[in-house]
Amino acid sequence: MLVRTLTKIVEGAHALLMQSLWGIMHGTETIPVSRVRNGALDLLKWLALLSMVLDHLRYVGLNLDGLYVPGRLAFPWFCLAIAVNLHRVGNAPVTGQWRYLGWLLLFSVISEVPYRMFIVDADTLNVLPTLALGLLVARGWQQKAIMDRGLALIALVLAAVFSTQLMFGFFGVLLPLAMLLVFRRPWYFSVLPGLVCLAANQWQILLNSGNVVALSGLATCLIAPLAGLVLLRHAGHVSPPAMRRWAYALYPLHFLLLLLVRQIIA
């Protein structure tokens, strides 16, 4: 019954998307999610990709430390995109989710060499293993099948044991689930993924540094989930290019392109 109700809400998404931000801050709206292609979701993915590229521009050899702040949007928005995709196909066959996981794992391997070529002193794996484990954890919470629950438990154990080797660590693996949990909640529940995002971003180090960039990064981590949710609610009228499977290749390619930029600058 709840799923049918949400579907009816989605069919009237245009009216919902035209509501003002005031309506979010004082109401109990839920995220409009549809099984058809969602322009707001594509926009979220493109903005997450842009944020990631801006973050990594700090490593090309220029004084661009301020880009750390918009860079804090990338990971939580990628996690939000995972949560949206899971929510959209919550009761669908799991075949698509296996493909989703397969692409993440494949490009986890493909991306590791370009990642280490660009981030020469990297002490973690690239971000895709974290997202893959996060997908398994969120899927396991969503589904009751023994296999899904078992894989989620294995993912949690791996995240706990190899937390220092994973980008964003154990809490980064929990972030897609935290995003999924707030979909049917009022806006202020976004504080939950905000705190998880903060925990995943070494908040102690940022807080102790005390400089403007670090403190702004802390604030960005806290508000990134809410900002992403607002975008999903109010940007349904946009039509950016659809981000399909080819977009996985942008992750390793952007490392190689930025490496080329660094060589040119040097």
pLDDT classification of 91: cutoffs 50, 70, 90: low
Q: What is the residue extent of each domain of the chain?
A: 38-265
Whole-model pTM: value is 0.84
Q: Which two tokens stand for residue 22?
A: 């005031």
pLDDT tens-digit series, residues 190-248: 999 999 999 999 878 778 887 899 999 999 999 999 999 999 988 878 889 999 889 99
Longest dimension (CA), the chain: 61
Give the pLDDT score at 256: 98
pLDDT number for residue 117: 96
- Angstrom distance (rounded) from CA 155 to CA 130: 10
pLDDT tens readout for residues 18-32: 333 334 344 444 444
Q: Are 63 and 93 in contact (CB under 8 A)?
A: no
pLDDT digit string, tens, across residues 179-193: 999 987 888 899 999
pLDDT at position 44 over 90: yes
Predicted local confidence at residue 77, as pLDDT: 98
Place of tokens 């929510």: 87
Residue 50 pLDDT exceeds 60: yes
Q: Which of 253, 225, 205, 251 is nearest to 73 (CA)?
A: 225
